[in-house]
């Protein structure tokens, strides 16, 4: 290490000891080439011909949401939306795990990244990420916002994340479901991760922290991607993993603001990240040129198979998981917006990947309809995104990101409704899933058609045409769009068996209604904006 790095490391160690974490050697804010050199030296991965690092994440190739906990204390007890998503862990159990973890890391070497979450200087969160693997620190370096040299010298983290891959909970006495854990403690400003190497847990844990803190500052946190057009018009894309959020926002005709998490303040929108975390199964240059070109020197590929002869990544190989990923800095995308802030959005796109094949390809939503579908968050989980998911399965993930939203869905939806009204934002629901039948029978929506519909929504062309009303899903569907055959909009007629379509559509509508029953004290105009049975 250089003298400057040694000074920073010593300062970092002093700060860590203040919260009773005493690792041995500290390697703080190494450069990308330095991290790559260490990772390769330790055989933590292998280089592709592009200079990207390919790593394997072991038994976890996706998030483990059932192993994520929030400490139940006097700060969180009455504010967290406890339930199937936000699992409580007692303060005593946290202290047992943290106590053993502190002992475990004594004398061990750690890689430290100091930086920020949030491109808005008024609300950004100074963070510290500590990992026992060089490649995970490289991931953090590419995903979060890097500090300037001056910011690094004066950096004081307000939240610290400690990830120890080979440390597990004693779940029979420490209150966890298994040896794996992702624990957020808002009183101690700490995140602990153990017994999982999947780097997405690092990213999502810090975003969950932001999603809890920002509403208290009057900022609406969103699990969405964002881009801007040539005239400065901003668009948001909400959707769970696999719905096309990253793909559709990486548009060569528009500038990318960010691909996953944003905040919406009184000043406009801002990205949480300094990088992108793209799903890359079946990635092709002709379909997604920006993402393809971004996977180069310094990028981290998770569970992507490298051809041993050519050293080229085989993006079609899903033998380890369908949830192959690549992390790269935002500036790897041509003309990306840096710093990643933008104006208030003109258009919002909700994305769903409907495995039943009955949702329309696109529909216009009223404010109440937008709040309904935001609270519902319907899609189909795709293979590999989460542990145990091997084929598409219908799900309702409120706010299009329930695992990362600690507060009540009604609280976030209220903020959405207020923003839509104040800024006259148009909202559309787009199905990137199946048509002509369910998964296994029908076909996945044509990406070129979806891009054309998105383009028409963003430039206002859809509003110039006519709409028909779908009485089952209570949606207004356009009848035409440049670049899309008219028959694409008639989902019912895309099925050869109309009776099966009717049964399947009404079944999905009933699932919407049943799911929404969990929300009490919701305004009647919002509840009535959803499907009918």
**Residue positions annotated with a catalytic role:** 63, 204, 223, 241, 245-246, 260, 325
Instruction: Check residue 29 and report its DSSP letter.
Output: S
Q: Which helix (H) or strand (E) holds 98?
A: helix 91-105
Residue 513 burial (CB < 10 Å; 0-12/13-18/19+)? Answer: middle
User: Alpha-carbon distance 374 to 410, whole Å?
Assistant: 10
| b (16+ CB within 10 A) / e for 76-114 | beebbbeeebbbbbeeebbebbbebbeebbeeeebbbbb
Strands 475-478 and 467-470: antiparallel
145 - beta bridge partners? 116
Packing angle of the helix pair 200-213, 134-143 (nearest 10 deg): 40
- Measured from the Cβ of residue 275, the count of other Cβ atoms closer than 10 Å reads 28
Please list, in sequence order, all residues whose beta carbon lies within 8 angstroms of the beta carbon of residue 321, skipping any fewer than 6 positions away.
61, 62, 303, 384
Exposure b/e, 290-324, CB count within 10 A at least 16 = b: bbbebbeebbbbbbbbbeeeeeebebeebebbbbb
Closest CA to 137 of 258, 47, 29: 29
Task: Give dist(CA 55, CA 273) in Å, integer.
Answer: 22
Measured between alpha carbons, how far apart are the two ends of the chain, in Å?
66
User: Is-contact 153 185, C-beta < 8 A?
Assistant: no
Which residue, 65, 321, 87, 302, is CA-closest to 197?
302
Q: DSSP characters for 197-218?
A: --THHHHHHHHHHHHHHGGGGT
Task: Say if residues 170 and 195 touch (Cβ distance below 8 Å).
Answer: no
Enclosing H/E stretch for 457:
helix 447-459
**How far is 282 from 62, CA to CA, in rounded Å?**
17
Residue 423 buriedness (CB in 10 A; 0-12 / 13-18 / 19+): middle
Q: List, as own/partner pairs, every contact residues 32-40 make where C-beta atoms lie below 8 angstroms and the sequence separation is at least 24, other chains included.
A: 32/138, 32/141, 32/142, 32/297, 32/298, 33/298, 35/111, 35/134, 35/135, 35/137, 35/138, 35/141, 36/138, 36/298, 38/111, 38/134, 39/133, 39/134, 39/135, 39/138
What is the spatial distance between Cα 457 and Cα 480, in angstroms, rounded to a whole number?
A: 12
């Amino acid at each position: 290490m250089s003298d400057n790095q040694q000074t920073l490391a010593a300062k970092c160690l002093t700060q860590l000891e203040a919260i009773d974490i005493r690792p041995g050697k500290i390697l703080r804010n190494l450069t990308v080439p330095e991290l790559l050199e260490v990772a390769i030296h330790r055989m933590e991965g292998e280089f592709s011909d592009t200079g990207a690092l390919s790593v394997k994440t072991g038994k976890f190739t996706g998030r483990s949401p059932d192993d994520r906990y929030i400490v139940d204390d006097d700060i969180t007890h009455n504010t967290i939306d406890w339930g199937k998503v936000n699992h409580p862990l007692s303060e005593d159990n946290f202290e047992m795990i943290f106590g053993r973890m502190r002992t475990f890391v004594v004398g061990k070497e750690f890689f430290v990244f100091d930086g920020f979450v949030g491109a808005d200087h008024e609300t950004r969160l100074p963070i510290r990420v500590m990992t026992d693997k060089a490649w995970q620190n490289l991931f953090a370096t590419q995903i979060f916002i890097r500090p300037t040299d001056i910011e690094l010298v004066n950096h004081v983290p307000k939240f610290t994340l400690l990830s120890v891959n080979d440390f597990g909970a004693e779940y029979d006495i420490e209150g966890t479901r298994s040896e794996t854990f992702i624990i957020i403690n808002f009183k101690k400003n700490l995140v602990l991760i153990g017994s999982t190497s999947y780097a997405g847990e690092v990213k999502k844990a810090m975003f969950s922290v932001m999603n809890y803190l920002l509403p208290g500052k009057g900022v609406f946190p969103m699990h969405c991607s964002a881009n801007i057009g040539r005239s400065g018009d901003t668009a948001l894309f909400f959707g769970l993993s696999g719905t096309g959020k990253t793909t559709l926002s990486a548009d060569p005709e528009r500038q990318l603001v960010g691909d996953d998490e944003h905040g919406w303040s009184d000043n406009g929108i801002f990205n949480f990240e300094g990088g992108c975390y793209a799903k890359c199964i079946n990635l092709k240059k002709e379909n997604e040129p920006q993402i393809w070109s971004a996977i180069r020197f310094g990028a981290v590929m998770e569970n992507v198979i490298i051809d041993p002869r050519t050293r080229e990544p085989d993006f079609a190989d899903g033998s380890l998981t369908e949830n192959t990923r690549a992390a790269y800095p935002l500036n790897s995308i041509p003309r990306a917006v840096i710093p990643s802030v933008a104006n208030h959005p003109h258009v919002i796109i909700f994305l769903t990947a409907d495995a039943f094949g009955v949702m329309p390809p696109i529909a216009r939503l009223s404010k109440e309809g937008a709040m309904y579908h935001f609270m519902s968050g319907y899609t189909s989980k795709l293979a590999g995104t989460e542990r145990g998911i091997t084929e598409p399965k219908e799900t309702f993930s409120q706010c299009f990101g329930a695992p990362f939203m600690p507060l009540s869905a009604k609280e976030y939806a209220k903020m959405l409704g207020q923003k839509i009204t104040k800024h006259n934002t148009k909202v559309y629901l787009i199905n990137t899933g199946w048509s002509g039948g369910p998964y296994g029978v029908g076909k996945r929506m044509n990406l070129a058609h979806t891009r054309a519909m998105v383009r028409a929504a963003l430039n206002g062309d859809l509003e110039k045409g006519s709409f028909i009303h779908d009485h089952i899903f209570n949606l207004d569907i356009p009848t035409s769009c440049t670049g899309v055959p008219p028959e694409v909009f008639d989902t019912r007629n895309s099925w050869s068996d109309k009776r099966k379509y009717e049964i399947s559509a009404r079944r999905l509508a009933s699932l919407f209604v049943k799911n929404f029953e969990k929300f009490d004290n919701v305004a009647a105009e919002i509840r009535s904006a959803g499907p009918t049975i």
